[in-house]
Amino acid sequence: MRKFGAGMVTMGVYDIISDIIHYSFAGEPLWFFEDIITYGLTADIAILATRGNLFLSKKQWLNAIEGGILGFSWSVVHPFFTFGFIAPLVFGFIPNPTRVYFLFETYAVGLTIIGIIASLLANRVIKLIV
């Protein structure tokens, strides 16, 4: 849809459907908000920053940079927000800064590479559709 809010709506629908299939609404409802806030809002910020033209550049290297930045931003949000804020509330443990930094370091490399690959694939799909 390429409009601000599409990422959060998509993650909300995905989370509701996956809860129905997997947990039958017996899961923790805070994870619903965590997915929307972390992944959905990050995608929406990327859509807003590119003015709705995410992965639509004719230059492949620019799409790869956009994907890398989006992947890196997911690696920042998940360890710090989930394991530093939401998971301690849900499970009642004290956040361990070493674990949070370790997760950030490992996620940063992997998700940046995955973001680059996914952006190049998304650009190919967009070219086929449009």
Is 1 inside any structural domain?
A: no
The CA distance from 128 to 117, in Å, is 17
Which residues lie closer than 8 Å to 19 by C-beta, 6 or more apart?
25, 27, 32
Q: Is the entire prediction scored with pTM above 0.85?
A: no
Is 10 inside any structural domain?
A: yes
The CA distance from 114 to 100, in Å, is 20
Task: Band the pLDDT of 10: cuts 50, 70, 90.
Answer: confident
Helices (H) and strands (E) in the chain, counts: 6, 0
pLDDT for res 106: 93
pLDDT for res 1: 59
Distances, alpha carbon 74 to alpha carbons 2, 22, 42, 113, 124, in Å: 19, 24, 7, 12, 22
User: What's the start-to-end Cα distance of the chain, in Å?
Assistant: 13
How does pLDDT run across 60-114, given as a tens digit for each residue? 788 888 889 888 988 888 888 888 888 888 888 888 899 899 999 999 999 999 9
Which residue in 45, 105, 98, 96 sits closest to 75, CA to CA? 105
Is 85 inside any structural domain?
A: yes
Domain count, the chain: 1
Here the tokens at position 37 are: 């806030």
For residue 26, the enclosing domain spans 6-129
Is 54 inside any structural domain?
A: yes
How does pLDDT run across 18-70, given as a tens digit for each residue? 888 877 767 667 777 888 888 888 888 888 887 777 777 677 788 888 889 88
| Percentage with pLDDT > 90 across the chain | 13
Which residues lie closer than 8 Å to 70 by C-beta, 6 or more apart?
42, 43, 46, 115, 119
pLDDT for res 109: 93
